[in-house]
Amino acid sequence: MAVKGCIWLFEQEQALGFSSVSTNIRMTVIKLKSGGLWVHAPIAPTKECIQLLKELGAPVEYIVLPTFAYEHKIFVGPFSRKFPQAQVWVAPRQWSWPLNLPLEFFGIFRSKTLKDGDLSTPWADEIEQKVLSSPEVGIGPYVEVAFYHKRSRTLLVTDAVIFVPRKPPECISKESLLASAKNGLAVKILSKGKEVPDEPVVDNNMNRQKG
C-alpha cells in the first residue's frame, strides 16, 4: 500500500525480450470518491492479482493505459475482460513495433482517448492529467500521460522517470536474477565478436546484484 485506504501498488516480474533480463512492472490503483477503483497501467490479471483487487472491496470503474509501450499495453485487453463494466482509457498516438497494429489486435475495444488537461474525464476533480510526447523520431513518438492525484499529492508516471535501486525488487525471483547475471545472447551480440565466457553462475549476493 502506498497511501493507506487510498492508493495501492501491485508489482509483477516481467522479462525483457531475448535479453534474459527481468524487471518489475507496476500497477497503481486509486480509490475514487465514488467508491470505485481507478487502475493505472494494469498488470497481468493472474488469480492472485484479481483476488487482491477483490479484497479492496470496491468495483473497478476505470482502466487506464498511460503509454504506447508494449509491455504495458499487452495486459490491458486481458485485464479489461476480467472487469467488463469498467471504462478503458488509453494514451493518444498509439503505435507498436515492428508492426503498427491497431488496439483491437491487443484485445482493447471501445476505449476512450486521454487528452491533455481534459476536464471532462470522470475523475477530473480528483486526478489531473498531462500528455507528455515527443516529435516522431526513428520508429515512432514517445507518448505518455502523467497523472496527479490531488488529495494524496501523488504524481504518477510510467517511463518518464526511471529509478534503478541497488537492491533488486522483491517480485523478481532468485532464478531470474541469476539468469540475468549470466552472459546470455544479448551480451554476446553486444560484445561484437569478442570472446565472452560462458560459465555457470554461482548463487551469491554479488551475482544477484549483477542480475
Contact (Cβ atoms closer than 8 angstroms) between residue 29 and residue 41:
no
Average pLDDT for residues 4-27, to the nearest whole number? 77
**In this structure, are 102 and 190 located in the same domain?**
no
**In this structure, are 124 and 200 located in the same domain?**
no
13-22, 46-55, 122-131: the lowest-pLDDT one: 13-22
Gap between the Cα atoms of 199 and 195, Å rounded: 12
The count of domains in the chain is: 2
Gap between the Cα atoms of 108 and 86, Å rounded: 12
Quick one: residue 193, left, alpha or beta (phi over 0 = left, psi -120 to 50 = alpha)? left
Helix, coil or strand: residue 194: coil
Ordered alpha helix ranges (H), 55-184:
70-73, 76-82, 174-181
Supply the range of the domain harboring residue 178: 174-210
Average pLDDT for residues 119-134, to the nearest whole number? 94
| Residue, of 54 and 162, whose pLDDT is higher | 54
In which band, very low, low, confident or very high, does the pLDDT at 207 lie, cut at 50, 70 and 90? Answer: low
pLDDT digits (tens, 9 = 90+) for 50-65: 999 999 999 999 999 9
Helix, coil or strand: residue 156: strand
Q: Answer whether residue 104 is part of any domain.
A: yes
**In this structure, are 140 and 181 located in the same domain?**
no
pLDDT of residue 192: 59
Q: Answer whether residue 2 is part of any domain.
A: no
pLDDT of residue 169: 60
Gap between the Cα atoms of 195 and 193, Å rounded: 6
Contact (Cβ atoms closer than 8 angstroms) between residue 106 and residue 76:
yes
CATH assignment of the domain containing 146: 3.60.15.10
Domain boundary among 126, 156, 186: 156
Q: Please count the other Cβ atoms lying within 10 Å of the Cβ belonging to residue 23.
A: 19
**In this structure, are 23 and 118 located in the same domain?**
yes
**In this structure, are 149 and 191 located in the same domain?**
no
- Is the N-terminal amide bond of 98 cis, ω within 30° of 0? yes
Gap between the Cα atoms of 57 and 102, Å rounded: 34
pLDDT of residue 83: 97
**In this structure, are 113 and 189 located in the same domain?**
no
What does DSSP assign to residue 137?
A: B
Nearest to 22 by CA among 188, 170, 204: 170
